[in-house]
Structure 1
């Protein structure tokens, strides 16, 4: 069985609050552990009215404290927003509190707009220093030497697993060069998936962290009792994506019966292409779709996500998807 994990953004649904979103996140994490998910990751975004996972390390601590076995981590931390030492200290602290359960996925995008990026006091270097910063974080988490003047405490010696996240050839090349596991953001940016995966596997260099390539594929899942209901649930994410692309981010919209009446028909094909790595529908449809992705890409692991407005429907979707994955 291919290991399967879950990526959550703690969505703030239309008509709900950030407090509701965080309560739902905690509920989903405990259930994901019971359903057999391997990891529960949270993603860093800022100034997004529909996403409550801005303080990612804080939420990871909360989820890890409320669960027992599931790995918990960042998918990911947007490293240009942070000093490498502070990231190492935060995740070293998490790993000290929850040994062998913490993951650190690193991305080079700001996870927000440029005005907010400036408010975060990042250097606005467009990610040029990302490779250096990744290696600095890894060095802080490795075993320190007695003569080192700067150490991450806690952090040093925890060896928190570091992943590279990406949606382009850049991340694939860096992950391969450094010998790190690689997660591709195919759930919203699939255009370079095939080429990036080929580059990662063909140019991978074994390292002290990893002997051979380890690739995680991201898929959206909108599972329900029928195909019609699954496609109905998907319309919330389609609307949210359209709102973001037109500069109108907001809470996660309620699903609609006719998505073509809510999104400009000229924009809908681009939205559907961006969300093309998606399994939506009945358990059998979801099983068939995921099986096709597994056959094509042969991932070492799958991470599932899905912005669903109603929390009970979201729980049922991930429960069905877990059942499908166990069957595969």
Structure 2
């Protein structure tokens, strides 16, 4: 019987979608992402990941490798990476070059998380001039080819320069059994997107751990799980902060996505029953409340998943509020001196009023 994992000993990381606020701009979103990464670095978080999404007015991380280059320049030690790159949108050679370049800029700090979904609707296929359905079917072979471009473990007709020999940490991302099975087969660390699709979480982790084959990159199963985390001095304030992301989620699932809206008091109570039920599904991978409430919920989720790492998601309309949320969490876990970080952040992070 394995010993219980303690949240205070578990590496925590950040997942950021580079959200564009209502009334804000892409330039502000990119600046806010860098400030968030700087705060995460000061507070002892391990990784800062950016997710690839396209043709979405409220998300500015589409050119993921470019965004990571900017964030890397604004930080010193935190690992930077993709959570993830949607490989069917690209060629393995292009991604090897991009992340090889990042590794040359920031050696030993670069993660490459890979996903199979296109990250947008069918219009993206036309914009990219690609058959994304066919490309998704080639995903396992493309992952192997991409790894070979980086490691040279398979003889390929040409080398990626930059890319060949880069010290890039590859991850498989997923929200289903497919990604879990492929990660196990290839011996890659596995990150499950439980923050928005927790339905197959337990089964996927069981499949991954049971079928894992050691590799040069990863000797034993290594799991990261994602959680939505909103921490504040009071439970009501935390619920208020979370309402912006909840609104975005409902709008996305209703077919009308947009920019990140201002928070709304008692938002859940204003929704019809089907929408409330939809949000309830996210509750198993969410921690919203005071520091004690958040750490208790995260420990419970850690007990359930026995994860090796947790990556924290959770966009707030006021960027400073998300930094404060991380400070409270880090302080509660004794991972950093959050008060010192708070003093620094007050001079660098703008405070946006609710509209």
Report TM bin, short chain: over 0.9
Correspondence for 2:5: none
Q: Given the two structures, how large is their TM-score scaled by the length of structure 1?
A: 0.96
Q: Counterpart of 2:331 in 1: which secondary structure?
A: helix
Q: Give how far 1:319 is off.
A: 1.4
Q: Counterpart of 2:208 in 1: which secondary structure?
A: helix
Return 199-208 or 147-156, whichever deviates more: 147-156
Q: Give how far 1:171 is off.
A: 0.3
Q: 2:152 aligns with which of 137, 143, 149?
A: 143
Tell me the distance in 2 between the aligned counterparts of 1:14 and 1:102. 31
> For residues 160-218 of structure 1, what are the alpha-carbon distances to aligned partners after superposition, in whole Å with 9 as ceiling and x for unaligned?
11100000000000000000000000000000000000001111001111110000010
Q: 1:90 aligns with which of 76, 83, 98?
A: 98
Q: Give how far 1:260 is off.
A: 3.9
Q: Does structure 1 retain, via aligned residues, the 8 Å contact 2:148–2:156? A: no
Tell me the distance in 1 between the aligned counterparts of 2:270 and 2:126. 33
Distance 1:313 1:8, change over 3 A: same
Correspondence for 1:264: 272
Tell me the distance in 2 between the aligned counterparts of 1:273 and 1:14. 26
Distance 1:152 1:216, change over 3 A: same
The answer as to 2:89 corresponding to 1:81 is yes
Return 294-303 or 122-131, whichever deviates more: 122-131
Q: Give how far 1:271 is off.
A: 2.1
> For residues 35-59 of structure 1, what are the alpha-carbon distances to aligned partners after superposition, in whole Å with 9 as ceiling and x for unaligned?
0000000000001111110110001
Tell me the distance in 2 between the aligned counterparts of 1:196 and 1:290. 19
After superposition, residues 133-282 of structure 1 pair within 5 angstroms as 133-143=142-152, 148-260=156-268, 262-282=270-290
Correspondence for 1:129: 138
* Structure 2 stretches lacking a partner, 5+ long: 1-8, 336-355
Q: Does structure 2 retain, via aligned residues, the 8 Å contact 1:2–1:325? A: no
Correspondence for 1:112: 120
Distance 1:297 1:261, change over 3 A: closer
Correspondence for 1:4: 12
Q: 2:22 aligns with which of 4, 14, 18?
A: 14
Q: Counterpart of 1:258 in 2: which secondary structure?
A: coil
Q: 2:296 aligns with which of 270, 288, 299?
A: 288
Distance 1:192 1:6, change over 3 A: same
Q: Counterpart of 1:25 in 2: which secondary structure?
A: helix
What is the root-mean-square deviation in Å for CA atoms of aligned residues? 1.6
**How many aligned residue pairs are there?**
327
